Amino acid sequence: MNNILEVKNLQVSYHTYAGEVKAVRGVDFSVSEGETLAIVGESGCGKTVSAKAVMGLIQTPGVIKEGSEINYGGKNLVAQPESEWEKYRGGECAMIFQDALAALNPTLSVGKQIAENLIIHRNCNKREAMEKAVELLEKVGIPEADKRVKQYPHEFSGGMRQRVMIAIALACNPKIIIADEPTTALDVTIQAQILELLKELQKELKTSIILITHDLGVVADMADQIAVMYSGKIIEKGSGRDIFYHPRHPYTWSLLNAVPRLDGDRKKNLVSIEGTPPDLLLELKGCPFVERCAHCMNICTRQAPPTFTFENEHRATCWLHHEKVQGEYPFETGGALCVEKA
Amino acid sequence: MCGKSIIEEPVLQVNHLKKYFPMGKGQILKAVDDVSFEIGKGKTLGLVGESGCGKTTCGRTCTGLYSKTSGEVLFKGQDVHKLRGKDRKAFTKSVQTIFQDPYASLDPRMKVSELVTEGLRIHNMISNKKEEQERAQELLRLVGLQAEHANRYIHEFSGGQRQRIGIARALAIEPEFIVCDEPISALDVSIQAQIVNLLKEMQAKMDLTYLFVAHDLSMVRHISDQVAVMYLGKIVELTTSDELYSHPVHPYTQALLSAIPIPDPDVEKKRERIVLTGDVPSPISPPPGCRFCSRCKYATEQCFEEEPEMKKIGPEHYVACHLCK
């Protein structure tokens, strides 16, 4: 399949008074047409920063470091001037933000906010753009769209606002939609509505979606590929089935077991991951997960683990897959096809 | 289930509790509207529902943080809202709340040791600084923090650690009953499991009774003995945890359960999902008849006109729906 977006060795740092916070530390991923890539991780693991970098929204004190590549349409966008970014942002790649109330402009009617995109990127005049805005609102399932197009964000409920956000993102038929925790602020019944809508729209428009979330449940039904992030790095990546049924990193395994399941055993204690993620101000010497890992070995504290590749492009960055490691683990180890040095 | 208690030793009994807020212009917001339940000693009742359904208001009214509009809340047989003076102070010693937002509920200008021992000072349970330090360190160890954390300020901690401090603060005066008001919704999944396991451990150790308010049904299942589902100020279904998840009866409970994603792709693909249309109506002017009728696919004419009564349909299983006979 053709990759429409390729991110290579993405590094983002924030320069603060306390020092350099390395929020993203060398991340690689790619998305092909009509595919959904889910980036999963805890708060502070760098998933939102990665998404912002792909949208070109990193602002000072943040910088995308040299050597990072964001390849789209045969160009490395990191090296391009702002004018190139402006064409791409909103036109080719659009973002759905987590908090729709904060992301929408409270002083403009929703219609104007949708039309804005069309006027800038598609050379529509105002009247055409407003007509298109009504169509878009209908498409995302807002009843009485012709009336509601003139209303302001505060007149919409949480779920409806998120629908408006989706309409704005869809306005220019982008190739890629980045959805940054689109349902985290919503109730479960509304979350089900929004996810259903995103799936339908993807089927119809063949858009690629990068779905960022901390909820593995949301991802189960949607993601073709899953990347699990931890302290600025992707520690495991693979197809949805591989990640859910054959996790190869202890973090992924414990994350899957920390989620309470409706069909699971109620009396069983949840697997909790003790401790907290490391401080991103510090230079990480070994594996970032070392302090919370139940299967930590000597080498884990001293040397960063290499990335092992398995069948079906399933990758995991963990020493447990080294040929010398033996022992019984609740997740799969060993059997790597090839190894890349960290 | 009204009037007489069915549990042998109820710690909390709530009978026909109502809490209305005046909204001006003669409008009334019925946040909690005729709610009844009871919790036995050492048990946990989970109170679940979507945002705005009145579950937090219900929790706060039970602890006396809000006055009631009508009905009664009995804590070990005493009416919570009629307590004054000494009795009221004794009541505040046996009831504590763990709040939702560990960022907003802890004073940033107080040291951790002062925060966790504030209740002890108020109830004269410690006499000097040395004792305060000792108790603070003991409590911090109890909730899985380190003794040296006692002299730090709250901004130095992560969300999960702050919630542990919130729990230590609630446990300090050795209460009997704790209202947990969405204690985990602001935390990451891996940390949520830590906190739920901690709460369960404390319950086993200190024989605590919990009212666990949450919107996350899958977490509630892990901690509750009984679960009450709220919708627009009313309890629509109340039963044991196992029964609720294996045989949900009310259409709203069914929809709520089916909306929760399961982290398993194969199960998800096979599952049939009930997607509710529309939003929760405003609690300021709720529809007449059943509150859920506007979103219910089984609604009949009767549902739009007549309000359903709470009915017993099995041992410890109560439902408010016209369709369940």
**CATH (domain of B189):** 3.40.50.300
- Over residues B187-236, the pLDDT tens digits come to 777 778 888 888 999 999 999 999 999 888 888 888 999 999 999 999 99
Of B197, B276, B279, the CB nearest to A157: B279
Q: Closest residue of B to A239, CA-based?
A: B265
**Cβ contact (<8 Å) for A258 and B256?**
no
- The b-or-e profile of B193-214 (16+ CB within 10 A means b, else e) is bbbbbbbbebbeeeebbbbbbb
> Using CA atoms, how far apart are residues B265 and B242, in angstroms rounded to an integer?
24
Domain count, chain B: 1
Q: Closest residue of A to B195, CA-based?
A: A272
Of A189, A216, A260, the CB nearest to B221: A260
Q: Is residue B208 part of a domain?
A: yes
- Collect all residues of chain A within an 8 Å Cβ-Cβ radius of residue B257: 262
> Using CA atoms, how far apart are residues B238 and B215, in angstroms rounded to an integer?
15
* pLDDT average, residue stretch B124-141: 90
The reply to whether B261 touches chain A by the CB within 8 Å rule is yes
- Over residues B15-64, the pLDDT tens digits come to 999 999 998 888 889 999 999 999 999 999 999 988 888 899 999 999 99
**Cβ contact (<8 Å) for B197 and A240?**
no
Ramachandran bin of A24, using left for φ above 0, alpha for ψ from -120 to 50, beta for the remaining angles: beta
pLDDT score for A342: 67
Q: How close B40 gets to chain A, by Cα (Å)? A: 19
The residue segments making up the domain with residue B160 are 10-109+153-246
In which band, very low, low, confident or very high, does the pLDDT at B5 lie, cut at 50, 70 and 90? low
Q: At residue B3, does pLDDT exceed 50? A: no
SS3 content of chain B, % helix, strand, coil (to 5): 35, 25, 40
pLDDT score for B285: 77
**Cβ contact (<8 Å) for A216 and B200?**
no
Query: Of B149, B189, B219, which to mutate for an interface test with A (greatest number of A Cβ within 10 Å)?
Result: B189
Q: Is residue B30 part of a domain?
A: yes
- Collect all residues of chain B within an 8 Å Cβ-Cβ radius of residue A157: 279
- Collect all residues of chain A within an 8 Å Cβ-Cβ radius of residue B261: 191-192, 195, 215, 217-218, 220-221
Q: What is the mean pLDDT of each run of 10 residues along chain A (342 residues)?
A: 88 89 92 93 88 90 92 90 89 89 92 93 92 92 90 89 92 92 84 89 92 88 92 93 93 88 76 81 86 90 92 92 86 83 70
Nearest to A45, CA basis, from A299, A241, A220, A276: A276
Cα-based distances in Å from B281 to A18, B51, B199, B277? 48, 12, 34, 12
| DSSP 3-state of B280 | coil
Tokens standing for residue B179? 């209202």
**Cβ contact (<8 Å) for B218 and A259?**
yes
| DSSP 3-state of A164 | helix
Interface of chain A toward chain B, CB-CB under 8 angstroms: 42-43, 157, 159-160, 187-193, 195-196, 214-221, 240-241, 244, 254-256, 258-263, 266, 269-274, 276
The reply to whether B1 touches chain A by the CB within 8 Å rule is no
Tokens standing for residue B157? 């901690």
| DSSP 3-state of A188 | helix
**Cβ contact (<8 Å) for B261 and A241?**
no
- Name residue, tokens 């890992």: A293
**Cβ contact (<8 Å) for A217 and B215?**
no
Nearest to B110, CA basis, from B93, B90, B132, B130: B132
pLDDT score for B1: 46
Decide if A320 contacts A333 (C-beta within 8 A): yes
**Cβ contact (<8 Å) for A262 and B221?**
yes
Q: Is residue B21 part of a domain?
A: yes
Of B189, B277, B280, the CB nearest to A258: B189
- Collect all residues of chain A within an 8 Å Cβ-Cβ radius of residue B269: 221
**Cβ contact (<8 Å) for B263 and A259?**
yes
Cα-based distances in Å from B299 to B75, B109, B244, B279? 38, 53, 21, 16
* Percentage above 90 pLDDT, chain B: 51
Q: Where in chain A are the domains?
A: 247-340
- Collect all residues of chain B within an 8 Å Cβ-Cβ radius of residue A230: none
Nearest to A94, CA basis, from A137, A56, A126, A65: A56
Q: Closest residue of B to A194, CA-based?
A: B275
Q: Closest residue of B to A269, CA-based?
A: B197
pLDDT score for A135: 93
The reply to whether B284 touches chain A by the CB within 8 Å rule is no
Helical H runs in chain B? Answer: 55-62, 85-94, 112-122, 129-142, 159-171, 189-206, 217-223, 241-246, 251-259, 265-270, 301-305
